Structure 1
Amino acid sequence: MNRRKFIENSALAGSGLAIIGAASCTTKSSTENKINIQSIMDDVEFIDSEDRKKRIEKAALLMQQNSIDAVFIESGTSLDYFTGIKWWPSERLTGVLIFSDGTLQYIGPAFEKERLEEMITIKGDVASWEEHENPFELVAKLFKAKSSATATLGMEENVRFFQSNGISFYLPQATITNAKPVTAGCRMIKSPKELALMKKANEITLEAYRIGFSQLKEGMSQYDLSSIVAEASTALGATEAGWAGAMFGAYTAFPHGSKTAQQLREGDLVLIDGGCKLGGYQADITRTTIFGQPTQRQQDVWNIVKEAQTAVFEQAKAGVPCELLDATARAVVNKHGLGNGYENFFHRVGHGIGMDFHEWEYLVKGNSTPMQPGMCFSNEPGIYIYGEFGVRLEDCFYITENGYEAFTPQSPSIESPI
């Protein structure tokens, strides 16, 4: 039994894991032998140190406005966003203190100091700790030396509990607060360069889907389709192939897929959701199509989802509260008798997106945050009927001064998804 068959048949293989496994064992030439894939990376401009210096300047200003003396950021996308350092999160603390005057203090393990220094492009001091030493005490000491024992330290939201708790222990007189006004305050509003990277990432993803759909054949597994899309994304120029989850037939009613191995059959709906990354920025697209000819019910449900997505776009503009877009999509589904609360439309209509798949803000009931120019969101209504099928359509967009701009065109039809 080869590795792919083992993954497909394993009851323990979750959809995400199975996709990764299948992609890793697909022969390199499987897609390239069938289609001549050319990179579409013309005129791409990546984020550089000058961009990050401007981000730090904005963060310092936001700290001053919110009475925060410094922000602590550990390994993750915010560390990359502000410093360009890509560091795998482990049990050893590696991070940065950004102070309200714009200065930086890096912290990392002593045995990794040379590697950390090699990655630094934004000037700042580097402090290291030996294996027997306490990194939390070191962070607290550096913070107090620059600010004071009673100053205010902002924690980036994704700092893991063991680190935030450890640092807080050594700052008993300090005020520890959520750094969201600073981190989200910078990251929510995308620059023209960020928007260009996201647009290109979405274009690559959509073209990879087109290639994947062109390879549909009876008997193929959902993992085969996911592997083709991931391979095509890389060939087209993606810096990270990302995630591509495929579902067939009745399993399209599972919004994020099923662990059950599936084989494509005539008349099945095919749903694929995911996106590649380009220069650290994430795409996110969902398309639903038919393998063969759609039934009237499949066509009707697909049309309702398209109507809901279109209605959301019509409401997308600066000043509109995030929750209105969710209510708009839900009203369309309800009008056609397929919704009651979250029945059949299980999830919010969208989420913020940028360096992470899901970022601030969320298009969901109860979020009255007004949309602002530069904010990016997904628009992804769906209808899911367990035992039959599901339909979701997703395109990402950003708010402009005059409305919105979508990164990709809406799906034309159930039979021609791209």
Structure 2
Amino acid sequence: MPTRRRFLLAAAAATPALTLTAQAQQSEKLPPAIAALTNRRAEAVPITLAEREQRLDRARALMHQNKIDAIVITTGTSLTYFTGLRWGQSERFFAWTLPATGAPFIVCPVFEEGRVRERMEAKPATLPSASTTRVYTWNEDEDPYQLLAKALKESGLASGKIGIEERTQFVFADGIAHTSPTLTTTSATPITYGCRSIKTPAELALMQLANNITLSVYKACYESAQPGMTNRQFSQLVDTAYTRCGVTGDASCQVGEYSALPHGSLQPQIIREGEIILIDDGCTVEGYQSDISRTFVLGDPTIAKLDKARKVFEIVLEAQSAALATARPGVQCQAIDAAARDLITAAGYGPDYRHFTHRVGHGIGMDGHEWPYLVRGNATPLAPGMCFSDEPGIYLPGEFGVRLEDDWHLTEEGGKMFTAQSPSLEHPFANA
């Protein structure tokens, strides 16, 4: 499911270390607030092999509950989540399969076996059950789906129900579905979502770090911004700031009337005093993401034309707080959206989706947007460990838009923000 976020390279390696001389020379050319940022990768504690083994145990328990006999995962985030493998998508079938009972196995092209085994034997180890994982290989003129059926049969699954991960390419899903008349396919989402939606303390720590870094980058770029700068130059400042922090990230920047487009415009824009600026996106730390939006102005805060914008800002801030305050274990996802939407409607910016044109939030973790979603009609109950964005907005076409977004996670006591909320247009980072 595509999102506004430009693809973040979750597998990106640490930024190569500069010599002290090069660092000093680079810092001299940067705005002071950005030059003051430091590399924070050492603060990130990777997910351990033991935790990935626990993920497999959880997945098997969910498979038994949902009467699914195995799940097949080709590439993407779920593969990394369960195995630590980062495998690029191609037209050739590659899959990691976890039976509900028995050892996992991999199906891959024969010429990729060496690369697979290299990762299986890597130190520190990331692939759970590596010693019992069998690798099945296929040549270019062979049918990989028949090989998958053979591997399943050797795992005791001559028949049964196979769960396919939701982001699997159609050509692969279709091949799996037609591989054997005794095997049926279904969605693996109850398994993958069931595991990934509840974050462990280790995952929460990585998300906290990602959010902390994003807020520090935004603050440094806000302090470095100048009237006359283009929105693209601002985004480049953000890129540079993330590089200083040792992570991969980005931010869109929309100015004035273009801030009324929730995902922005490609039109070149100039930052001017007293005009609304809306920035959005985040970074990735050990595969875990942040997603923060801030709306602010530069220059004289007494400009009269900002009176309307200030009132809209206050409404959006109240809506963000109302959504968070509604969160409790067992509360339905849709109730969080309703809390923010009802407040915005009561303030005169309704009805319904008229000016608050999107849901109030999405799940977040290893994907910027993932299950579950805070939207009307989603009766999924909240559970401790779930993580979301909280991002109400009011968009007035031809004028401006205001969105405030912070990420939060659910505790037994209620929702807890990873970052401090923005208090005002004129001082967006006063609480940071």
Q: Which runs of 5+ in 2 are unaligned?
A: 10-22, 121-126
SS of the counterpart of 1:336? helix
Cα offset, 1:412, TM superposition? 1.7
CA distance, structure 1, for counterparts of residue 188 and residue 419 of structure 2:
33
CA distance, structure 1, for counterparts of residue 347 and residue 416 of structure 2:
28
SS of the counterpart of 2:357? coil
Where does residue 218 of structure 2 map in the other structure?
Answer: 209
Aligned residues of 1:31 and 1:228 also touching (Cα < 8 A): no
Where does residue 152 of structure 2 map in the other structure?
Answer: 143
SS of the counterpart of 1:247? strand
* Structure 1 pair 389–414 and aligned structure 2 pair: CA distance change class (3 A): same
Cα offset, 1:242, TM superposition? 2.8
- Bigger CA drift: 81-90 or 216-225? 216-225
Where does residue 281 of structure 2 map in the other structure?
Answer: 274
- Residue 186 of structure 1 is aligned with which of 170, 195, 201? 195
CA distance, structure 2, for counterparts of residue 105 and residue 44 of structure 1:
30
Aligned residues of 2:8 and 2:249 also touching (Cα < 8 A): no
CA distance, structure 1, for counterparts of residue 346 and residue 206 of structure 2:
37
SS of the counterpart of 2:105? strand
Aligned residues of 1:19 and 1:226 also touching (Cα < 8 A): no
CA distance, structure 1, for counterparts of residue 420 and residue 360 of structure 2:
17
The one-character-per-residue Cα deviations of 1:360-390 (angstroms, maximum 9, x if unpaired) are 1110000011100000011000000110000
- Residue 354 of structure 2 is aligned with which of 320, 331, 343? 343
Cα offset, 1:221, TM superposition? 1.5
Letter in 2 for 1:268: E
The one-character-per-residue Cα deviations of 1:186-208 (angstroms, maximum 9, x if unpaired) are 10100000000001000001111
The one-character-per-residue Cα deviations of 1:208-231 (angstroms, maximum 9, x if unpaired) are 101111121122111111121122
CA distance, structure 1, for counterparts of residue 278 and residue 246 of structure 2:
23
- Bigger CA drift: 33-42 or 185-194? 33-42
Cα offset, 1:18, TM superposition? 12
Where does residue 174 of structure 2 map in the other structure?
Answer: 165
Identity among equivalent positions (%) equals 44
Cα offset, 1:31, TM superposition? 8.8
Letter in 2 for 1:168: A
- Bigger CA drift: 32-41 or 81-90? 32-41
CA distance, structure 2, for counterparts of residue 46 and residue 231 of structure 1:
24
Aligned residues of 1:56 and 1:102 also touching (Cα < 8 A): no
CA distance, structure 1, for counterparts of residue 412 and residue 29 of structure 2:
42
Cα offset, 1:16, TM superposition? 7.0
SS of the counterpart of 1:369? coil
Aligned residues of 1:19 and 1:244 also touching (Cα < 8 A): no
* Structure 1 pair 208–31 and aligned structure 2 pair: CA distance change class (3 A): farther
Cα offset, 1:110, TM superposition? 1.4
SS of the counterpart of 2:349? coil
- Residue 384 of structure 1 is aligned with which of 395, 400, 406? 395
CA distance, structure 2, for counterparts of residue 360 and residue 156 of structure 1:
13
* Structure 1 pair 18–359 and aligned structure 2 pair: CA distance change class (3 A): closer
Aligned residues of 2:8 and 2:283 also touching (Cα < 8 A): no
1:245 counterpart = 2:252: yes
- Residue 330 of structure 2 is aligned with which of 319, 322, 340? 319
Cα offset, 1:142, TM superposition? 1.2
Aligned residues of 1:69 and 1:147 also touching (Cα < 8 A): no
Where does residue 23 of structure 1 map in the other structure?
Answer: none
CA distance, structure 1, for counterparts of residue 298 and residue 188 of structure 2:
48
Letter in 2 for 1:233: Y
Aligned residues of 2:385 and 2:411 also touching (Cα < 8 A): yes
Q: TM-score, normalising length from structure 1?
A: 0.90
Where does residue 30 of structure 2 map in the other structure?
Answer: 33
CA distance, structure 2, for counterparts of residue 244 and residue 126 of structure 1:
40
* Structure 1 pair 19–324 and aligned structure 2 pair: CA distance change class (3 A): closer
Letter in 2 for 1:33: L
- Bigger CA drift: 163-172 or 382-391? 163-172
The aligned length equals 395
1:54 counterpart = 2:63: no
Where does residue 14 of structure 2 map in the other structure?
Answer: none
The one-character-per-residue Cα deviations of 1:290-335 (angstroms, maximum 9, x if unpaired) are 1223510111111110010011111111111100111110111111
SS of the counterpart of 2:118? helix
CA distance, structure 2, for counterparts of residue 216 and residue 102 of structure 1:
57
Cα offset, 1:65, TM superposition? 1.8
Cα offset, 1:148, TM superposition? 3.0
CA distance, structure 1, for counterparts of residue 196 and residue 362 of structure 2:
14
- Bigger CA drift: 179-188 or 132-141? 132-141
The one-character-per-residue Cα deviations of 1:140-160 (angstroms, maximum 9, x if unpaired) are 221233233321111111111
Where does residue 285 of structure 1 map in the other structure?
Answer: 292
* Structure 1 pair 41–389 and aligned structure 2 pair: CA distance change class (3 A): same
Q: TM-score, normalising length from structure 2?
A: 0.88
